Amino acid sequence: MAKQDKNKNKSTFPNALKIQPWLKNRIFRGTNGRFGVTEKLWKDFSFDELVEFSISHNKATVNKHLTGVVPPDYVGPFDKEIKLPVKPESKEDGEA
């Protein structure tokens, strides 16, 4: 029973996106949304890449290749706000 509790804590969202089993050793060649042109095995996709695939393709294509849904509290790498460095204010002492 300890193993079940450990696995239960490991996956906080049980119905997260996964690839279909028949795709594991097949290559994806194409455009994957904001990740651009991609050529790699389906089993090597990160979760962020799977989410981008589901966003950038139509529902029929997504249902054919993936199972599950995107967790409601998911924040992807493109959703994070980029913090730019703040330019320091110039000192005006009257010196030329």
Please tell me the predicted confidence (pLDDT) of residue 82: 63
Name the one residue in this structure whose structure tokens are 């030329």: 96
**Per-residue pLDDT for the chain (96 aa), expressed as one digit of tens each?**
444 444 333 357 788 889 999 999 999 999 888 888 989 999 999 988 999 899 889 999 999 999 998 888 877 777 666 666 777 776 666 555
Query: How far, rounded to the nearest angstrom, does the alpha carbon of residue 94 sit from its chain's CA centroid?
Result: 52
Cα separation, 39 vs 32, in Å, equals 10
Check: pTM over 0.95? Answer yes or no.
Answer: no
Question: Residue 4 has what pLDDT?
Answer: 44
Instruction: Give CA separation, 95 vs 32, 66, 80, 91, 92, in Å.
Output: 55, 65, 42, 10, 7
Q: Rounded CA gap, 10 and 40, in Å? A: 27
Q: Which two tokens stand for residue 90?
A: 């110039």
pLDDT at 74: 78
